[in-house]
């Protein structure tokens, strides 16, 4: 799929920078991107986007210093300066773009407030779908982040064609600081979504037997709302002699993860059909980008990538049926992506989910926060002696 990424705010910029690095590293030519921010230093810190693709907005109002966690200001600046962003997209050229993906942290200010505004404008101007890859804040970041994320998400589900979520709190390890986890979390994000959004592109081993093309991803996401992604890998059993560079796919998975792989992840002695089936089950039942009640999913897409010999057709069909039996809807699309590798990977996109506890919890926190701050605004007023005359009325 040819994707145009817009990284909005700090998290969005950093993650999109990684997508471009991934595209370069895997010799793809599928992704193009710009980054938008109100903070100059965040834009300067990016490593892979060209300088001309880094767009600073709000220069007159916040002078390159960012909006803090004020997402109302983030939205206002984006409304006021939408032309600057749209011109940057035009300058880059949309080429054969099949979908726009806005990436942002929903708990902050710039990306949280700006993303829904940008989604609305992109949808007005282009016919291609507009998706958002939104990062949910961890609870320990404080109630303001949760409040921002709830407001941003409530707006995004109306403005974008689908909002795919990644929950920082579900991915952070016990005892790890959220900031210390960013690099690792961003790797996890790019590994999953990089592979998913590559589907349908011609890999180095040609097109798969059961290719997933872009229209299938688009049709899966068609119902709107929120979505989540599962992922699992397994080593192929007879991988032959070990080569130094195993090609495209191992670069996606990343050497570090391969080294850290737990031994039980190596599936032995099963035939190829059941191996594919159990891999897809692991992807869906394991840790999702947004933990959710998968049985409330409307549509799903199953993608299996790896050496052509291991992409067992019957296995993929069985896995699709198994997913269909376990979700609410009946539309399950799927296929393969042949790639030279020692590993087979499965991605399951669960689209239009009706129940995700973290989202419910965010909305509750947001309601409480709003009620508390209104009460405090009303009650917590410094009472000055009314007998004292002000300087003027």
**Which positions lie near ligand GDP, rule CB under 6 A?**
9-11, 14, 104-105, 107-112, 135, 137, 141, 145, 168, 178, 182, 185-186
111 annotated as ligand-binding: yes
- Nearest approach in angstroms of CB 271 to ligand GDP is 38
- Nearest approach in angstroms of CB 327 to ligand GDP is 27
- Nearest approach in angstroms of CB 366 to ligand GDP is 14
- Strand partners of residue 230: 348
Q: Which is nearer to ligand GDP, 68 or 225 (CB)?
A: 68
Contacts of 209 (CB under 8 A, 6+ apart): 308, 311, 313, 336
7 annotated as ligand-binding: no
- Nearest approach in angstroms of CB 126 to ligand GDP is 23
Q: What letter would DSSP give residue 96? A: T
Asked if residue 111 lies in contact with residue 105, where contact means CB atoms within 8 angstroms, the answer is yes
Q: Which is nearer to ligand GDP, 141 or 201 (CB)?
A: 141
- Nearest approach in angstroms of CB 115 to ligand GDP is 9
160 annotated as ligand-binding: no
Alpha carbon distance 271, 50 (integer Å): 47
- Nearest approach in angstroms of CB 177 to ligand GDP is 10
User: In sequence order, what E strands does the chain have?
Assistant: 3-8, 31-37, 54-56, 99-105, 130-136, 162-167, 226-235, 297-306, 331-338, 343-353
Q: Which is nearer to ligand GDP, 234 or 289 (CB)?
A: 289
Q: Which of 248, 310, 336, 277 is nearest to 24 (CA)?
A: 248
Alpha carbon distance 189, 60 (integer Å): 34
Asked if residue 136 lies in contact with residue 169, where contact means CB atoms within 8 angstroms, the answer is yes
- Nearest approach in angstroms of CB 312 to ligand GDP is 34
Alpha carbon distance 273, 385 (integer Å): 81
12 annotated as ligand-binding: yes
Alpha carbon distance 10, 29 (integer Å): 24
If 0-12 CB within 10 Å is exposed, 13-18 middle and 19+ buried, where does residue 60 land?
Answer: exposed
Alpha carbon distance 102, 246 (integer Å): 32
If 0-12 CB within 10 Å is exposed, 13-18 middle and 19+ buried, where does residue 187 land?
Answer: middle
Q: Which residue reads 């991107």 in tokens? A: 33
Q: Which is nearer to ligand GDP, 62 or 349 (CB)?
A: 62
- Nearest approach in angstroms of CB 191 to ligand GDP is 13
| 343-353 and 226-235 beta bridge pairing | antiparallel
Q: Which is nearer to ligand GDP, 287 or 318 (CB)?
A: 287
If 0-12 CB within 10 Å is exposed, 13-18 middle and 19+ buried, where does residue 218 land?
Answer: middle
168 annotated as ligand-binding: yes
201 annotated as ligand-binding: no
Q: Which is nearer to ligand GDP, 194 or 334 (CB)?
A: 194
- Nearest approach in angstroms of CB 111 to ligand GDP is 3
Q: Which is nearer to ligand GDP, 86 or 178 (CB)?
A: 178
Q: Which is nearer to ligand GDP, 72 or 325 (CB)?
A: 72
Q: Which is nearer to ligand GDP, 58 or 109 (CB)?
A: 109
Asked if residue 136 lies in contact with residue 167, where contact means CB atoms within 8 angstroms, the answer is yes
Binding-site members are: 10-14, 109-111, 141, 168, 186
Binding-site members for GTP are: 10-14, 109-111, 141, 168, 186
């Amino acid at each position: 799929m040819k994707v145009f990424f817009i990284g909005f705010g700090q998290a969005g910029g950093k993650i999109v920078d990684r997508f471009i690095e991934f595209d370069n590293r895997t010799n793809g030519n599928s992704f193009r991107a710009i980054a938008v921010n109100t903070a100059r230093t965040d834009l300067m810190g990016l490593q892979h986007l060209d300088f001309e693709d880094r767009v600073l907005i709000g220069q007159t109002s916040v002078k390159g210093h960012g909006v803090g966690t004020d997402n109302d200001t983030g939205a206002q600046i984006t409304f006021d300066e939408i032309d600057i962003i749209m011109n940057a997209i035009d300058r880059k050229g949309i080429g054969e773009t099949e979908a726009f993906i806005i990436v942002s942290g929903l708990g902050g200010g710039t990306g949280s407030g700006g993303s829904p505004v940008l989604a609305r404008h992109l949808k007005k101007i282009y016919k291609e779908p507009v998706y958002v890859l939104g990062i949910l804040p961890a609870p320990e970041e404080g109630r303001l982040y949760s409040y921002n994320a709830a407001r941003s998400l409530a707006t995004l589900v109306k403005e974008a064609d689908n909002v795919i979520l990644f929950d920082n709190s579900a991915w952070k390890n016990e005892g790890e600081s959220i900031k210390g986890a960013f690099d690792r979390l961003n790797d996890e994000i790019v590994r999953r979504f990089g592979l998913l959004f590559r589907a349908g592109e011609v890999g180095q081993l040609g097109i798969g037997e059961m290719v997933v093309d872009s229209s299938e991803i688009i049709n899966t996401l068609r119902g709107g709302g929120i979505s989540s992604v599962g992922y699992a890998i397994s080593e192929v059993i007879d991988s032959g002699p070990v080569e130094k560079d195993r090609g495209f796919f191992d670069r996606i998975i990343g050497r570090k993860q391969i080294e850290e792989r737990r031994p039980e992840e190596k599936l032995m002695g099963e035939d190829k059909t059941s191996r594919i089936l159990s891999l897809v089950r692991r992807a869906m039942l394991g840790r999702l980008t947004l933990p959710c009640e998968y049985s409330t999913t409307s549509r799903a897409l199953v993608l299996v990538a790896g050496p052509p010999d291991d992409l067992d057709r019957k296995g993929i069909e069985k896995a699709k049926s198994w997913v269909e039996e376990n979700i609410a809807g009946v539309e399950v699309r799927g296929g393969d992506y042949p790639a030279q590798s020692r590993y087979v990977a499965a991605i399951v996109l669960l689209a239009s989910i009706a129940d995700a506890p973290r989202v419910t919890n965010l909305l509750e926190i947001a309601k409480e926060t709003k009620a508390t701050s209104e009460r405090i605004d009303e009650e917590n007023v410094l009472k000055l002696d009314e007998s004292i005359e002000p300087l003027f009325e």
